[in-house]
Amino acid sequence: MGHNFKAAEAYCIRLAPDCNVFAVNATNDLTVRNPAGLLATIQIKYTDGFTDTIVTDANWHSFTSVPNGFQNNDFDDSAWPPATIEGNYGVAPWNAVTIPSSASSTPLTLSDANWIWTNEVSGGNAPVGTRAFRKDITLPTGQRATSATFLVDADNGYTLYLQGNIVGSGDDYTSANPSASQISIVAFTANTGGPAGFIAAVELEMEDCDCGSVTSFVTDGTWKYSISPPSGFQNATFDASGWPNAVVEGKYGIAPWGNVPVPDTISTSVAPIPGAPAAMSAKVVQ
């Protein structure tokens, strides 16, 4: 719903596999006659990769009142007259309008994420050793993820897994083609002494449309941990439901870590940390 003609709005929706109707209830405000217009571009992406674009033109139908049910698929608008063309984009009095880059969410950030660890932290310190953290996400029915973007940090080190494959050991990754409705994120972490913590923000991009439909989540108390990770813990099919919930140590920015820097580009992966289970490498988009 838009209320400012100087700024366009962007939306991303899933379409039905057969018939789809685009309908707009447009309002001209004020109490006296004044300019009125509707402007739209609609891009449709098909499952075979083909795209089609629909724009507001004389092929649209218009009516001077708004009948009940006009937006429904079974409404018959065949008797409506064609819309009147007032001009191309940029014509006065509307001129150029602000156009959003997409309907995507705001850029991924760690600001809402929590530092988490096991229940072993005492006096700000944790035992030396490796620990595992895991998050399983079930996507809504019919949705599949096409890529996952991560912002990750750990005190002192970690190796990150997606669907059982090694993403890398660093700070910032985009891994392509998770291709599943059940996504598993696993971190194998190490503490060499003193404070210990793990923090992450993850963004999954969906294949349901091409304008940035995403699902995001961060490290919090819903993540699971294991002090002695069993064999196969990193695999997508592993059942971690019996693991205890992670202990939240505090929000991003707390001491002793402060505001850890986040790179502007995709990080170059380094070797897995010692003890990390061997696995195939995930496809990382550079």
For the chain, what are the domain ranges? 1-103, 114-251
Q: What is the mean pLDDT of residues 143-148?
A: 76
Residue 2 has pLDDT above 60, yes or no: no
Contact assessment for residue 158 and residue 273, using Cβ atoms and an 8 Å cutoff: yes
pLDDT, one tens digit per residue, over 208-258 is 555 556 788 899 999 999 999 999 999 999 999 999 999 999 999 999 999
Q: What is the mean pLDDT of residues 53-80?
A: 90
Show the tokens assigned to 93. 């009095």
Contact assessment for residue 119 and residue 189, using Cβ atoms and an 8 Å cutoff: no
pLDDT class of 170 with cuts at 50, 70, 90: low
214-219 contacts at long range (C-beta below 8 A, 24 or more positions apart): 214/104, 214/105, 215/137, 215/139, 215/145, 216/105, 216/108, 217/135, 217/137, 218/110, 218/112, 218/113, 218/114, 219/113, 219/114, 219/115, 219/116, 219/133, 219/135, 219/246
Contacts of 250 (CB under 8 A, 6+ apart): 114, 115
Residue 105 has pLDDT above 50, yes or no: no
Q: What is the mean pLDDT of residues 44-60?
A: 81
pLDDT of residue 197: 95
Show the tokens assigned to 274. 């010692």
Between CA 220 and CA 152 the distance in angstroms is 13
Which tops the pLDDT comparison, 62 or 42? Answer: 62
pLDDT of residue 207: 67
Residue 27 has pLDDT above 70, yes or no: yes
Which tops the pLDDT comparison, 91 or 126? Answer: 126
Q: What is the mean pLDDT of residues 264-269?
A: 67
Q: Is the dihedral angle over the CA atoms 67, 73, 75, 76 positive or is it negative?
A: positive
Query: How many Cα atoms occupy the beta-carbon half-sphere of 279 within 13 Å?
Result: 26
CATH no. of 114-251: 2.60.120.260
Consecutive H or E run containing 127: none
Between CA 211 and CA 102 the distance in angstroms is 6
Which tops the pLDDT comparison, 279 or 207? Answer: 279
